[in-house]
Amino acid sequence: MDALFHIDKQHSVSLQDQLFELIANRVLDGLLQPGTAMPSTRVMASMLNISRNTVIITYEKLTAEGFLTSEKRKGYFVTNESLHSKNIQVTHPHQQQSKNLHWHFKKTYSDLPQFMKPKNWRSFTFPFIAGQVDHRLFPNREWQECCRIANNTSMLTQWLDDCPDQDDESLVEIIIKRVLPKRGIYCRPEEILITQGSQQSLYLIANILFNEETRIGIENPGYIDAANIFRAHSASLIPVSVYPDITDTPSTLKPLDYLYVTPSHQCPTTITMPISHRKALLNNCLQHNTIIIEDDYECELNFLHQPAPALKAMAPNDPIIYMGSFSKTIAPGLRLGFLVAPEPFIKEARILRKMMNRHTSGLVQKATALFISRGYYDSHIKRLIQHYHERYKTFTNTLYSFDQLPFTYSEPTGGSAVWITFNNPIKAADVLTACQKENLYFELGHFFYHSCKPNPHTARLGLSTLNESEIKDGLQLLIKTVLALK
């Protein structure tokens, strides 16, 4: 029986919780059969070299949950009622004759260009990956506190029911009160929809507004998943040059129906669109009836100067659809963002969202609302900005130590990445192949081009998951690897 039990004393999960999960699993998997006598609390404690109290408390909890029964003076037994979930016996798929199935897919998506980072990217010593958070900076204690409060009985009842017709009121309210005013945006609750991040916002927009005749301008290079969503909805994609040329886009081409832009930190070049260009772009779009889809990507993370107001703030009466996200400030795994648009659009989007996933997890909405209202969101962003600034300074300082650089870069005003262009004829793909052998990874730039002529010399270096000394060492390694290529 000893072989059935093992716990890890170094693990962050408590010994009690580990033991509970272990025994419950053994019962459910059928390894501990109904009626089996459990080792006495004393024996179990000495077998695992843990305190007897821990075992007593765990056995009691297992008894309360129905996994064990206790008999006076005899000890604990696995409950007689069989909890082992018996699998239904069917032919295992691998034993079936493989038939050539023709699925007659009406649509396929697998041929769309995909930007994939390696599954094990975090195990690289130097993962220069953009858009992910540094786990070391995550405000774990504050987040846990908000989750705990969101799970208090009084709050729990606010999110246990599904509620597709309405989002968490406290979240909508706090976004209107604290998040949007920082972007210069004022709106009513009816003009907001909570989504599972900008990705879902884009899907809702494309599904409701686009068809084969829709002409949508997209920054080139630009966000690949936006392009894929637009392609999947049959819209004609018109790649447009990024700043400064973007300002005269709608007039130089056949007018666009929509223009998708990332003015705060252009994805992937990180360039911030200056106010004068924002004004010119707004004028042009207004003149040509082009509706702007504003993805306010990394808008909170400016470290060099005050962020410019959102386009939506500069033209509150124009039909601009605005997208915000908590992915870059809290975590992308949270899957939480929001759309701000005129009420009739939000009404449609809410119904479409209901058909897709009803709504974003109520628990996530509630915990995030608390996280913002308790001030943790603002202080976390403040800290992130400081860290990102330090990281960027380390990046530039490290470059100063080299007489000659094998690349140029566009200076960001903030955000979590730097866009670089290797000197001709160095190809980013060759550098990446060599760097991977040195345990260093970065993102190839050519994935971000929607036209047939991607620039093979470009790359994006994400700085958000590396601390200063890692950035310094990684960057030195990157440059030495490039120089050795020649």
Ligand X SMILES: Cc1ncc(COP(=O)(O)O)c(C=O)c1O
Interacting residues toward ligand X by CB under 6 A: 131, 197-199, 223, 262, 267, 295, 297, 325, 327, 332, 337
What is the total residue count of the chain? 486
Task: Report the residue number, 228 or 481, with the smaller CB distance to ligand X.
Answer: 228
Question: Considering the complex, what minimum distance in angstroms separates the CB of residue 227 from ligand X?
Answer: 11
Return d(Cα 486, Cα 473) in angstroms, integer. 21
Query: In angstroms, rounded to a whole number, what is the distance separating the alpha carbons of residues 33 and 30?
Result: 6
Cis peptide before 425 (omega within 30 of 0): yes
Residue closer to ligand X by CB (options 198, 394) is: 198
| DSSP state letter for 122 | G
CB of 297 to ligand X, least distance (A): 4
- In the complex with ligand X, the residue whose CB is nearer, 230 or 297, is 297
Return the closest-CA partner of residue 126 out of 484, 462, 482.
Answer: 462
Taking residue 120's Cβ as centre, other Cβ atoms within 10 Å add up to: 9
* Cβ closest to ligand X, residue 364 vs residue 482: 364
Torsion of CA 445, 446, 447, 448, to 10 degrees: 70
Give me 191's structure tokens.
């003009």
**Min separation Cβ 295 and ligand X, Å:** 5
Rounded distance, CA 468 to CA 244, Å?
Answer: 32
- Rg over alpha carbons for the chain, rounded to the nearest Å, is 27
Of 300, 344, 312, 294, nearest in space to 185 by CA: 312
Amino acid letter at 427? K
Structure tokens, 36: 């089996």
Which one, 267 or 341, has the nearer CB to ligand X? 267
Q: Which DSSP string corresponds to 328-339?
A: TTT-GGG--EEE
Q: How far is the CB of 223 from ligand X (least distance, A)?
A: 4
Write down the least CB distance from residue 304 to ligand X, Å.
20
Nearer to ligand X, 23 or 336 (CB): 336
Nearest approach, Cβ of 156 to ligand X (angstroms)? 26
Report, in Å, the least distance between residue 328 CB and ligand X: 8
Which residue's Cβ lies closest to ligand X? 197
CB nearer ligand X, residue 329 or residue 398: 329
